[in-house]
Amino acid sequence: MDRLAIIARVLRKAVAMAGLAVMIAVALGGPAAHAVEPDEVLQDPALEARARAISANLRCLVCQNQSIDDSHAPLARDLRILVREELKQGKTDDEILDYVVARYGEFVLLKPRFVPHNYILWFATPILLALGIVLIVVSYRRSRAVAEPEAPLTAAEKRRLSRLLDQS
Amino acid sequence: MIAETGHFALILALAVAVLQTVVPIFGARRGDARLMGFAVPAAQAQFLLLALAFMALMTAYVTSDFSVQNVYQNSSVAKPLLYKISAVWGNHEGSMVLWVLILALFGAAVATYGRNLPPTLQANVLGVQGAIGVAFLLFIVTTSNPFLRIDPAPFEGLGFNPVLQDPALAFHPPFLYAGYVGFSMAFSFAIAALIDGKIDAAWARWVRPWTLAAWMCLTLGIAMGSWWAYYELGWGGFWFWDPVENASFMPWLSGTALLHSALVMEKRDALKVWTILLAIVTFSLSLVGTFLVRSGVLTSVHAFAVDPARGVFILGIMAVFIGGALALFAWRAPLLRQGGLFAPISREGALVFNNLILTTACAAVFVGTLYPLALQSLTPEKISVGPPFFNYTFVPLIVPLLVAVPFGPFLAWKRGDLAAASQRLFAAACVAVLAMIVVAALQQRGPWLAPIGIGIGIWLIGGALSEVAFRIKLFDAGRAEVIRRAVNLPRSAYGTMLAHAGLGLVVIGVVATTAWRVEDITALKPGESTEIAGYTLRFEGVRESEGANYAERVGFFDVSRGGEAITRLTPSKRHFNVEGSATTESAIHVSWRGDLYAVLGDPLEGGAYTVRVYFNPLVRLIWLGALVMFFGGGVSLFDRRLRVGAPVRAKAKVPPMRLADAK
């Protein structure tokens, strides 16, 4: 049963590490930004920060793979202003995203939603990682089994082992 | 006449490529040395013919021969010479000619310098190279002929996409292609090994330098593209997770994995099947990259071809080569004997971990890039996959690998000692933790995890330096002994150090600039100033001027710091007359702290202009790091062991597995 314990420990470590990594990702992937015009910036810094975070997740529909936060296109500007108008009315981030998606479709979101038709997208990486680990463990054990059949210790070896262990 | 010569050379090259495919492989099956030997002159002739075709196209561009349709569509008389030359590969047809030219160059190199290869291996490798050449030459000749004429010839061309008229971008495609196509060598060697049904350490020794050379070119090509995006697109981003960027990043990731697994195969005769598969996958991803970029599936500055016939053709090439290679793999790979046992904690184990993470990360990028295309063609749903997705999937995968990198070189082959490795890395760990604490203490704003990211970067650099310091006994031996060891240390050890330290520099640059960049967006009238990161920028006004093939509005900013004048920044907006479009030219002041980056926006009412100023701390480290990685690869490439053929390995008399325990 101690093998199970080891696996559990490794898994716990892996989960902890993944958690840490996700946090790093979130922290680093925060708003960093760009195209906003001086007259758009909101007076309230907290509200402006939320506006930037939302904008970074919205695609500029007339550009090549840019967020509206990065784009200088007039449409992006309109959308930035729209987001800020909604924020000033006291809407939550999710309400605003829902509103924009209702108007422009899911294509506008740079971070795909966690809905059934995106499950493959979101689960592919962890599943492949797990498969890779399983593959490595299986082929490792198989190569062990082929090359190094573990012969049980003979009675003489056992006696010698216990003698050595007693000494230390 | 010159264009027709080029066209003829192209068709002749196709004919030679067909012979180069059929004759040597047939000869290898029959064991006929004369037929196998045919591969060498064929590969050399193919290269010469394609060089001739390429020179013919370049001549047409340099002399602005607008009777050639390709030149008419992509050039103009007033364009500077450098961009007349780079326009040769700045369009679909010309870039495909460059693609096959580089392919033929690699083939000719194997033909010329591969005389110490086993004859059947060389014949099969050149045969497979020939087959790739046939496919792409057929593609060029039938769908993308660059030598078509128009009559009557126009007096002026349509011009060249202004954002591509840039020094870094002039050399970005050749390096990228050298990388993509360079992986065809690993592919051809893999297929040749599968055809032969045998593979040994000498094989890995032969594949590694080619893979390394391709990897170096790809590293530099990607870095150039990123650098260009940084200063040309006008807001100082360096990586966008754009599908075309991902198209080049996927082969880089799997190519990096291949470099490391080939190492295990060369040294320990293990991971054979896996290395073969990686070689196939890496070149397949290069083909996928070519397809994504060239087929018009993705819209971007790279997608010149929006002709569905071309997309279908490349898709066909992909299906044949990837499908064929994988089928051959499934059929023949079980014949390859596995060798080299190792414990989980060992150099091999570390490299397996490296491969696990790199291939999974590559898969994450692959899924993120292709899932929206698949979903759109199979369902009514249309989604975008942008940077947030990759931040959630790619980054958490890669961070544990970055932490593990310094341990790898310290672990012994077969069975390593993690405790001993940790002991030797103690100094590096201390420096990294110290750096984290200092950064955390000094940090006034920004995410609390930024210090950890900086610490990981320092850890990578410190770990890389510790390895060499340990191996030359820097702190344990006399000066003479240290120098003797430093001279005798294999170049590849220095290469590893540089590559891993370069990675550390990239990490620091990415973390610092993402976490601590500052921006200031404001409206300025002449005479007004703005402040950012301790700098004061005083706007002096704008001036209109004329460039070689564009009209320009230049803004002048006097930069000072603490009352002391530092420099004058001149960001501008260029309007290209022939092409009828504009580009933003940012102005950057570089210092050791980071880049002061200024962009001139549009005029506002009352004589003011929108001005965007950014301070990007340590951003240069990203490209400096890539350059260091490139040089690391170069140093490794000139290691004696890789240059001198493949010496025979002495057979170990004693079963080596107990040696480690005997100490």
Between CA B402 and CA B409, with CA B408 as vertex, the angle to 5 degrees is 125
Residues of chain B positioned with their CB less than 8 A from the CB of A45? none
pLDDT bucket at A32, cuts 50 / 70 / 90 = very low
Contact call for A64 and B610, based on CB within 8 A: no
Alpha-carbon distance of B277 to B468, in angstroms, equals: 32
Arithmetic mean of pLDDT, A30-42 = 60
pLDDT tens digits for A67-109?
888 777 778 888 888 889 888 888 888 889 888 888 888 888 8
Please give the pLDDT value at position B45: 96
Chain A residues whose CB is inside 8 A of the B381 CB are: 106, 117
| Region of poorest pLDDT, from B231-245, B396-410, B451-465 | B231-245
Q: Which domains does chain B have, with CATH numbers?
A: 1-160 (1.20.120), 166-406 (no CATH), 407-516 (no CATH), 524-618 (no CATH)
Query: Would you state the structure tokens that stand for residue B75, as one six-digit string?
Result: 């050039």
- For residue B90, the SS3 value is coil
pLDDT tens for each residue of B6-40:
999 999 999 999 999 999 999 988 888 899 989 99
Q: DSSP letters of A78-124? A: HHHHHHHHHHHTT--HHHHHHHHHHHH-GGGBSS--SSGGGHHHHHH
Best mutation site among A36, A106, A128 for testing chain B: the one with the most B CBs within 10 Å? A128
Residues 6+ apart with CB under 8 A from B461: B500, B501, B504, B505
Q: How far is B124 from chain A (nearest CA, A)?
A: 30
User: Which pLDDT score, from 0 to 100, does residue B20 have?
Assistant: 95
Residue A17 has pLDDT above 60, yes or no: no
> B610 and A26 in contact by Cβ < 8 A?
no
DSSP letters spanning B242-267: -HHHHHHHHHHHHHHHHHHHHHHHHH
Three-state helix/strand/coil letters over A36-69: CCHHHCCCCHHHHHHHHHHHHCEECCCCCCCECC
State the nearest Cα–Cα gap between B627 and chain A, in angstroms: 24
- Predicted local confidence at residue B212, as pLDDT: 93
- Per residue in B439-480, pLDDT (tens digit) is 988 887 778 789 999 999 999 999 999 999 988 888 887 888
Q: What is the reported pLDDT for B235? A: 65
Q: Which residues of B fall within a CB distance of 8 Å from A28?
A: 391, 395, 447, 449-450, 453, 510-511, 514-515
Residue to substitute from B163, B232, B235, B518, interface A, most A β-carbons within 10 A: B235
Amino acid residing at B369: T
User: Is the pLDDT confidence value at B656 over 60?
Assistant: no
Q: Tell me which chain A residues have a C-beta less than 8 angstroms from the C-beta of B237.
A: 32, 34, 70
Q: How far apart are CA B13 and CA A1, in angstroms?
A: 66
Contact A66 B299 (CB under 8 A): no
Contact present, B465 and B496 (Cβ < 8 Å): no
HEC string of B301-349 equals: CCCCCCCHHHHHHHHHHHHHHHHHHHHHHHHHHHHCCCCCCCCCCCHHH
Residue of A nearest to B382 (CA): A107
Q: How confident is the model at residue A148 (pLDDT cuts 50, 70, 90)?
A: low
Query: Closest Cα of chain B to A15: distance in Å?
Result: 11
Q: Are B289 and B250 in contact (CB under 8 A)?
A: yes
Nearest CA to B56 among B72, B68, B44, B74?
Answer: B68
The stretches of B197-242 forming alpha helices (DSSP H) are 201-232
Residue B309 has pLDDT above 80, yes or no: no
Q: Do B396 and A25 touch (CB under 8 A)?
A: yes
C-alpha dihedral, B403 to B405 to B407 to B408, nearest 10°: 150
pLDDT tens readout for residues B543-579 = 988 887 788 899 999 999 988 888 999 998 888 877 7
pLDDT at B114 over 90: no
CB-based contact A35 B235, cutoff 8 Å: yes
Chain A positions touching B453 (Cβ under 8 A) are 24, 28
Of all residues in chain B, the one with the smallest CA distance to A133 is B356
How far is B514 from B239, CA to CA, in rounded Å? Answer: 11
Higher-scoring residue by pLDDT: B388, B548: B388
- Going by C-alpha positions, the residue among B252, B251, B240, B243 that lies closest to residue B295 is B243
- Angle at CA of residue A106, ends A101 and A110, nearest 5°: 100
Contact B523 A38 (CB under 8 A): yes
**Residue B8 to residues B17, B85, B147, Cα–Cα distance (Å):** 14, 21, 10
Query: Chains A, B: CB contacts under 8 A, how many?
Result: 155
pLDDT digits (tens, 9 = 90+) for B281-299: 999 999 888 888 776 666 5
CB–CB of A24 and B392 under 8 A? no
pLDDT band at A22 (very low <50, low <70, confident <90, very high): very low
pLDDT recorded at residue B267: 84
Q: How far is A112 from chain B (nearest CA, A)?
A: 6
Shortest CB distance from A24 goes to which of B452, B522, B612? B452
Of B356, B388, B514, nearest to A132 by CB-CB distance is B356
pTM listed for this prediction: 0.86
Q: Supply the DSSP string of A112-134, one letter for each residue.
A: --SSGGGHHHHHHHHHHHHHHHH
Neighbours of B288 (CB within 10 A): 20
Task: Please report where in the chains the tokens 């989960």 appear, as a residue.
Answer: A15
Which residues in chain A touch residue B393, judged by CB atoms under 8 angstroms apart? 122, 125
CB B92 within 8 Å of CB B168: no
Cβ–Cβ < 8 Å for B186, B211 = yes
CA–CA dist B276, A121 (Å, integer): 28
Q: What's the confidence (pLDDT) of residue B621?
A: 94
Once rounded to an integer, what is the mean pLDDT over residues B245-255?
93
Tell me which chain B residues have a C-beta less than 8 angstroms from the C-beta of A123.
Answer: none
Judged by CB atoms closer than 8 Å, whether chains meet at A59 and B384 is answered as: yes
Residues facing B522 on adjacent strands = B611
Contact in structure between A136 and B354 (CB atoms under 8 Å):
no
Q: Is the pLDDT of residue B655 over 60?
A: no
Mean pLDDT of B74-99: 88
pLDDT score of B301:
47
A73-77, B133-137, B515-519, B647-651: which has the minimum mean pLDDT?
A: B647-651
Provide mean pLDDT across the span B143-158. Answer: 87
Contact B391 A25 (CB under 8 A): yes
Residue B659, pLDDT > 60, answer: no
Tokens of B656: 């080596």
